[in-house]
Structure 1
Amino acid sequence: MAQSAENRGLTRPPNIVVVLADDWGYGDLACQNPDSRIPTPFCDGLANQGMRFTDAHTGSAVCTPTRYGLLTGRYAWRSRLTRGVLWGYSAPLIDPEVPTLPAVLQRAGYRTAAIGKWHLGLEWARRVGSAPWPENIDTPDGDPTAHIDFTGPVLRGPHTAGYDRSFVLPASLDMAPYCFIRDGRIVTPPTDRCDDSPRPQYWRGGPISPGLTHASVMPRLTQEACEFLWDHHRTATDQPFMMAFYPTLPHYPHIANLPYQGKSGCGAYGDGVVEFDSSVGAILATLEATGQAENTIVIVTSDNGADLSGGQAGFGHASNSWLRGQKADIHEGGHRVPFIVRWPGVVDAGTVSDATICMTDIFATVADVVGATIPKGGAPDSVSFRSVLDGASAGTQVRGSVVHHSMDGTFAIRSGPWKLSTGLGTGGFTAPRTIQVTPNGPTGTLFHLGDDPRETHDLWSEWPGEVERLRRELADIRGR
């Protein structure tokens, strides 16, 4: 077993770096997929230096809810967002009274930073005399640009959610408006417009900052992350930091930059994964160069499973490995994701854990590690897995159950090897999304993942007692 942080004589709590990839599938991590067509040497190296989880899940099979869960330790269906995602102009999803992980770390003396895709809603400055927001603001068609003062401050965003420093995009890189926001101010107002782009690039047309291109975003975000690490090294070496890096890849648009084009055997999608992996490598190299690596916990994971519309199958690559389904689906391919933790001197190098964990658990785990107090009522769906990291609970589970959620709002609950879904379809991108319930027929599905990890044999009718137990447990969790 590795030494504890206390036994290593550290003078301050560890720094925290969380990298949350966008649509990075379970099989896109090369060391986790022997048949991968995509090299990921930096993430593979990180896994060799730390712990790789094989049963890690997001609270939702799409991005906004997962990001909400990471920051709040709450399942997003407890908020106003009970299905789907937010859009570029959506209002903030995190209520001001809900504790966030960066705010908790601030109170514990940490310097906090968020860099990359935000996608949790913003309160834009409004033009004087502007009309109310359109009622369809949380849809792809909601466009209140005529009402927004892009020269004014952003009133609520990452800078009001606990981050001392922030450099973000409003939402995904296929959702307008396309502009950078630094510490609550738009860097360059989006006074130009771009047209829709066809696949494989694919973005929606709309306002864009002059000089900004979609391809330029990832290099800029990586640069900003590395510059934050250098700045902290130069100016605040006695203060611990937490940096959340939210890259835009491998989500659409699939446009890897020139150094990465052709570097995978999986077309534009695979080349984007290579570029994402290189960004992770740049951050790791900067931690080494600044002497901060030894006392920094690095977590690399994804906000949901891979979207399979990027043509991966045509290259013989299984982005979600052997898992059934894809992004948005209630099946494992929608929410089981890569999850790597490196904590030098504490996590034994090259270890693999089958502990079941959820993205919401990062909140309680980090608070546990640094000794921060979670406010009463905060992070209700978060369970610390620190004991898994330091080896104290090796071979045991720290969670009783995990709740999953699909794009259309279908629920599932995982308890031990059992997984019950409240719907008959996928609830997401894969057909059929919905299946009509027949008279006296099953209303959901039941799988035993220990015996049937690919979710092929529905046991709903064969195990009525287990169905009833899981339905009661899910109802209890939802009612808390």
Structure 2
Amino acid sequence: MKNRLILLLFVSLVTLRAAPKPNIIYIFADDMGYGDVQCLNPERGKIPTPHMDRLAAEGMIFTDAHSSSSVCTPTRYGVLTGRYNWRTHLQKGVLWGYSEPLIDADRLTVPALLKQQGYKTAMVGKWHLGMNLPVLEGKPIMDGPPDSRKPKRTHIDWKGEIKDGPVDRGFDYLYGISASLDMAPYIWIENDRFVGTADNSQPTKPAPGFKKDQVLPEIGRKTVEYIEKQDGSKPFFIYVPLTSPHTPIVPTEEWKGKSGLGSYGDFQMQTDHVIGEIMKAVDASDFADNTLVIVTADNGCSKAARIDRLEAQGHFPSAHLRGSKADLWDGGHRVPFIVRWPKVVKAGSTSDQTIGLTDLMATCAELSGATLPDNAGEDSISFAPALKGETIESTRKGVIHHSISGHFAYRQGKWKLLLAKGSGGWTSPTEKQVKKGAPVAQLYDLEADPGETKNLYESHPEVAERLLKQLESDVSRGRSTDGAAAKNDVAEIELWKSGK
């Protein structure tokens, strides 16, 4: 009997180790607010999103997921490295289309980690993390300042090799663009080469055949094409950073007028449609049951969506949350996070556990059977247990938020401390608009006050001090998880941007 039990245990362990690793599809919307998904905002959301709603019904909604920043580039850095962006030289703001790479060559990324575990890796969409573009001999990359959103003249070698982009940071295949669609250059990139040529004398002019309103549907088509080529012999990871509903807000002709809420509503509906097309390809495959699909966003809805007009029509892009893109308030960084994995995730389930987008790294490590080295994923914990309805085992004390201007906030349990007098971003009152004599910081009890309306900073100094000390520790140690102390890339990180 004893030998039989040992044999059964051995067989179980072998079976567990031999279990096929899940395919992972990470669909990353751009500037999509928490309330822009109908099922997350049923009372105050007016934009139909049937495909994301279906994904949620067949999978799990995380109600307390946060981007590591309330703007684009820094969040993308966190997703792919499991590390906060402000540990690098990028202390505020974003990169541009011609920027040099933010991810160091020796920094482990999610796709590089998964490649080590036998995965095929691909990216289709918007990079926005910098790359070294080829230039004509003896020329600077552009006339004037070396890093501009819209330069007057560039000196790009359109036939040259692009270096330190996605294919040098872990991806086997790339089809995408260097940054946002409101930043030149406007030209497709495949692997390490431009697709065609653009005009250096007119950098803001799209390359021949490149149409901004066709970028979103092309991302969808290329993603579907990649999925349809997979035969299930090897697991795959595909990262799909969409260009929507970010500016320019350019729904194609067939989507104009669909929402009745203006072009932003139409573009969000088209975004949902593209996600639906990707899901059709997964469902038509032989590996749908063991494919983990994640749909999320890099930050909250942008002011460019004309939030005031949307709210006047009954649609609230941030749902019940305060603020929007660029802000420290939750509307800036609490994002939709929907997962489906039929083999593991219970349909129609919900998790209210707090997670961050930096957590993809540790999660992928656990799901693929990898062990993270000490010098990787310093701010990442695995949410894999939550997918099975279990409690996440976190060595991280809290989650750090960051705004466009570099202001910090710290979240631990129900408490949230903001080292800012106002939004820390674009929503009024901004730091410059706050009235004289206002508290130097903000403290909110999110259980009692999810809309962050009652500042408890002066009435609960002991809580504020406890959270501040933990934030200071997480910053100075070079990591927020257990492990050997690490180093930030910069000598000093300023926590109090508005003064204390």
The answer to whether the aligner puts 1:169 opposite 2:166 as a matched pair is no
Distance of aligned partners of 1:160 and 1:283 in 2 relative to their CA distance in 1, 3 Å threshold? same
Match runs of 1:52-451 below 5 Å: 52-131=61-140, 136-140=145-149, 143=151, 145-191=153-199, 206-233=204-231, 237-311=232-306, 312-393=310-391, 399-435=396-432, 442-451=439-448
CA distance in 2 between counterparts of 1:193 and 1:432 reads 41
The answer to whether the aligner puts 1:47 opposite 2:42 as a matched pair is no
Deviates more, 1:436-445 or 1:424-433: 436-445
Shift of residue 186, structure 1, vs aligned partner: 0.3
Moved over 4 A (4+): 4-11, 132-135, 396-399, 435-441
2:474 aligned to which of 465, 470, 477: 477
Equivalent residue, structure 2, for 1:20: 28
> Given residue 349 of structure 1, which amino acid in structure 2 is its aligned partner?
A
Distance of aligned partners of 1:347 and 1:185 in 2 relative to their CA distance in 1, 3 Å threshold? same
SS of equivalent residue, structure 1 residue 467: helix
Deviates more, 1:99-108 or 1:374-383: 374-383
Shift of residue 164, structure 1, vs aligned partner: 0.1
Equivalent residue, structure 2, for 1:201: none
Equivalent residue, structure 1, for 2:482: none
> Given residue 390 of structure 2, which amino acid in structure 1 is its aligned partner?
A
Mark the runs of 5 or more structure 2 residues left unpaired by the alignment.
Answer: 1-11, 478-500
Q: Is the Cα contact below 8 Å between 2:325 and 2:331 reproduced in 1?
A: yes
SS of equivalent residue, structure 1 residue 208: coil
Distance of aligned partners of 1:265 and 1:10 in 2 relative to their CA distance in 1, 3 Å threshold? farther
Q: Is the Cα contact below 8 Å between 2:98 and 2:148 reproduced in 1?
A: no
Deviates more, 1:410-419 or 1:397-406: 397-406
> Given residue 41 of structure 1, which amino acid in structure 2 is its aligned partner?
P
Shift of residue 417, structure 1, vs aligned partner: 0.6
Equivalent residue, structure 2, for 1:199: none
Match runs of 1:2-17 below 5 Å: 11-17=19-25
Deviates more, 1:373-382 or 1:440-449: 440-449
Normalising by structure 1, we get a TM-score of 0.91
Shift of residue 398, structure 1, vs aligned partner: 7.5
CA distance in 1 between counterparts of 2:103 and 2:171 reads 14
The answer to whether the aligner puts 1:31 opposite 2:46 as a matched pair is no
CA distance in 2 between counterparts of 1:316 and 1:137 reads 44
CA distance in 1 between counterparts of 2:303 and 2:415 reads 26
Q: Is the Cα contact below 8 Å between 2:381 and 2:394 reproduced in 1?
A: no
Distance of aligned partners of 1:54 and 1:155 in 2 relative to their CA distance in 1, 3 Å threshold? same
CA distance in 2 between counterparts of 1:180 and 1:291 reads 31
Normalising by structure 2, we get a TM-score of 0.88
Distance of aligned partners of 1:105 and 1:331 in 2 relative to their CA distance in 1, 3 Å threshold? same
Distance of aligned partners of 1:151 and 1:444 in 2 relative to their CA distance in 1, 3 Å threshold? same
SS of equivalent residue, structure 2 residue 473: helix
Shift of residue 50, structure 1, vs aligned partner: 0.8
CA distance in 1 between counterparts of 2:297 and 2:426 reads 18
Q: Is the Cα contact below 8 Å between 1:56 and 1:357 reproduced in 2?
A: yes
SS of equivalent residue, structure 2 residue 230: helix
Distance of aligned partners of 1:137 and 1:331 in 2 relative to their CA distance in 1, 3 Å threshold? farther
SS of equivalent residue, structure 1 residue 287: helix
CA distance in 2 between counterparts of 1:135 and 1:207 reads 18
Deviates more, 1:6-15 or 1:54-63: 6-15
> Given residue 326 of structure 2, which amino acid in structure 1 is its aligned partner?
A
Q: CA RMSD in A?
A: 2.3
Across the two proteins, how many residue pairs are aligned to each other?
A: 462
Q: Is the Cα contact below 8 Å between 2:421 and 2:431 reproduced in 1?
A: yes
CA distance in 2 between counterparts of 1:88 and 1:177 reads 6
